[in-house]
Chain A
Amino acid sequence: MVRLITHNLLACHAKGCTTNNFPLKLQDVVVEVREAEFNADFLRGFLPRIEWTALVNAAKELGDTSLPLEMPEMVDDEFLKNLHHVLLEIHVDEGAMVCPNCGHKYPIMNGIPNMLLAEHEIG
């Protein structure tokens, strides 16, 4: 599955593409929401590692605007519930992720993103 938790970690690795290669742009997506178990401790621990603006924008691309533009200093339950939903419950099953720099397209099929490169694209 490609959920936004994964999307937040991925970057383009095509040959020579080392700047402005994150975040990948979601394109032509088919999305399904599936419930996941809520774990507040996990979210609190992961929070400092998130590239926040990338997450907020990706969520917007998927139609979710529940997150604040700035990472809040005070973390309450409502915020964590929203964060949980955005990170772990929105599944991108089909579509693609496109590099903002070189335009390389990473297709997503059956929830599996194809991050392989052709031999001539490997850096």
Chain B
Amino acid sequence: MAPAVTSTTVSLDVDPQNYEDEHVHAVYDQIASHFSSTRYKPWPIIVQFLSSLSTGWVGLDSGTGNGKYLSLPADRPGSVWTIGLDRSRNLLRIAQTAGGNGVTREVLWGDVLGRPWRDGAFDYAISIATIHHLATWERRKAAVQRILQAISPSHGRALIYVWAIEQDDLSKRSIPQSQEYQIAGQDVFVPWVVAKGQLQQKSLSNVEQECRTDPSECEEIKAQEQTSPPPVFNRYYHMFAKGELTRLVHDAADELRLSIGSKADNTMGAGVEIVQDGWERSNYYVELRRWEYQ
């Protein structure tokens, strides 16, 4: 059985960046190869979205992880180019060869709150299971804004996917819940148990590093490695409440002075249309399209 998910609260006193470094980025770097071996089935809405893109489009996968979407659409390989960005270098090493066939993928080591591109340079962007790792509303909003800024103001399309409080029956996880979380979402730790021998190289080399700097502790560390139970890594998640993702998009767009609605419903300016939003397999998603009048 999967270990229980526990609720948590992000203290207002902590620096959210440091918090995410400890409870998200460090964890993914450690569990990268094990994590990657368990992630292989792309979700249907995402597959559909990527299949609907025009040939010749380039896109950004913000929080690409092991890069499982970089090789899609499977029915038209090479018809679009998706560039993967992630904070975990170890996951990016895996993403570089995602999809196999000897094809190398383009990946960037970066933060989803960064903006290392020409504004509007991408035709599309996806952010799958990423924004829920950010520890405050402001940071989640900023991540949505980076997506909106990355895509073309005239035709850019985006798909955002986050973990929902509302869980699928098939999900192995049991989630602590109460009434108040139905609006604001809920912060939780989700444990990741790594079987022995599956830890990322980096942590093993850390042990060796410590051995070099302090040989007296070396034997002790090694002994601990042998006898300790399999390590459990707690990843931080913000589980989204119903409607919360759409509210976040509204808030993000407002601040960028983008109208929400379709191009046809407006006569001037620039905006973003919510093409669809919904729930799929324990996640909320929203599909967006930017438009502008010249």
Contact = CB atoms under 8 A, between A and B. Distances in A.
B56 A42 contact: yes
Give the interface size bracket for B toward A: 35 or more
A51 B92 contact: no
Contacts of A114: 109-110
11 contacts: A1-B106, A2-B106, A9-B83, A22-B118, A39-B78, A41-B56, A42-B79, A45-B55, A49-B58, A116-B87, A116-B114
B121 A5 contact: no
A70 interface: no
B24 to A, nearest CB: 14
A45 B78 contact: no
A5 to B, nearest CB: 6
B108 A113 contact: yes
Interface in A41-96: 41-47, 49, 51, 91
B104 to A, nearest CB: 5
Interface string B40-57: 000000000000001111
A45 B111 CA distance: 28
Given A6-B106, A112-B89, A13 B56 contact: no
B117 A43 contact: no
B96 A1 contact: yes
Given A11-B118, A115-B116, A122-B113, 5 more contacts: A1-B107, A9-B122, A41-B55, A46-B57, A117-B114
Interface residues of A, number: 38
A26 interface: no
B198 interface: no
Contacts of B77: 37
Interface in B122-176: 122-123
Contacts of B83: 6, 9
B130 to A, nearest CB: 16
Given A3-B106, A9-B83, A9-B122, A122 B58 contact: no
